[in-house]
Structure 1
Amino acid sequence: RLFWLDLFFLVLVLGLFAGVQAGGIAFSGQERTVFFFYLLFLVLLLNFIYLLGQLTTMLVRFRKTFFLWFFVVWFAIIFLLPELSRISVFRKSQSLEPAEKVNLEKFRNLMAMEKEFREFLKANPSTPLDQVRRMQKKFAVQFINSSYLVNTGLELRYLRKVGNVIADHERRSVFFPTTYYLFLSGEASGKGYHGYLDFMDYIMKLRNRFMQFYLKRRYLEPDSAVESFVKGSENIFRSRSRLPRSYVAGVLVTALYGAALLLLAFWSLQRQVRRS
């Protein structure tokens, strides 16, 4: 029955995948590779749930109290454990320094530089226009070499902390099939935690390019024609589908759970046959 269940599931999923492609949606080679590896994990997860159910049926003849507790454990494993894992990572993220606080600190650094420039103009109201422009250029260079680097450092520190929380969540998710299913589904769909880190990294690089573009156009080429900084679809971030580094470990752990349940179910069946 397990073989036919797996075969039916594979035919169904592959048929749907082929239907989507026939409908005009094209997948890259990397996306197809991720899909097939993700499908492998789904088959193992399906086997795990099926074998867990089979073991439960083998224990029906035991005392009702034991069976009731086993059912409670089964329900917790399939439904409650993934939710508890999600709540855990949410609480850990709450302990991080809020992004709004980081942005406020960056804003204060920028305002401090602007205040210094305004105070200079107030103290020297008769400063010639060409000197003011030179001061503006000096102010911009000073901002890049000081406040901008400080702000970038704040962002990198924040991203490292977020990355540590994600890495810890990934390690804990590996230890059980249902929790790893949620983590892997997010990464394979492109909506996972690592996609968020990629997005933040993309934004930081784009902003760095903009600062260089602005300074060049504003101070080195002031008479050049107006040109849009954003080219093509650069303002759209496309999160990519991926397999996390823990994929092999997650597959092996899920396969081991399935093998253990298979042995337990076989052992329980043998005991029942001998008694009968």
Structure 2
Amino acid sequence: MNEATTARVIQFTFAGSPLRAQAERVDRVHTNVLFITLIRSKFIQYVATGLSLLPGFLLQPLQRLLPPQFYLPGRLVLKTRKPDWGDEFANEKVMYQRLEPLQGRIMPRFLGDAEFNGIPSIVLSRLEGSPSYKQGPTALPADDFERQLKVLLQEFTKFGVIYDDPKLDNFLVVKGKVMVVDLESVCEEDKQDQELAVESHRLHIMPQYRRCLESLSNHNSEKETITNSTGWTSPRPSYTEIVRTTPKSYPSNVRTDL
């Protein structure tokens, strides 16, 4: 088992209530981000399932009356503030609020503030998809990915901001739809630079994505050759590490080295 992502039980505080959850790191790099699954009794799970079926105008008043374990989704993301990243952490919360209409459409939903090990954190909905560079044999074709990517980046500009952390691992594919995570580096820009950023980031990301598809295609061809010649399939090799760089920000008042 991968020690970097081994599941463990944690306790964190959300809306004044202590919650327990099974937790594991999303990957080796983002050590401050955890996939968590709430630990709840069967009764609470039953109630939570029923509440999740209610329309928002009925659920919201109940959320003010009930402990969070009754209304939170069972599978979540817990993101903790990194050392010396207070400004970026605060910026991410501000941007989730500013971009509220985009939540659940192209990005996670911001569910609220939390505290984990005495460190300020946020709780987000979990996007049940795959990182764009870790898709399987049914990976999104490059043209489709590029079309959705451009639309996604343009959605930010409608709110006077740009998404300024264009790394491939920040883009997920969820049921054929491209979505984005990590709003720490979202920043305001004037109209001219917004358009420039969209095009620059598209040109930066697409060669990386095409290399991923090429690597996947080569692997599948090699796997098919081995299967046809021997009658069995060799273990799948691990993906080679993809070099990801971030272009200069417009301006770079927020670090983008996550």
What is the TM-score of this pair, normalised by structure 2? Answer: 0.27
- More strand by percentage: 2
- Larger RCO, structure (CA 8 Å, separation 6 or more): 1
- More helix by percentage: 1
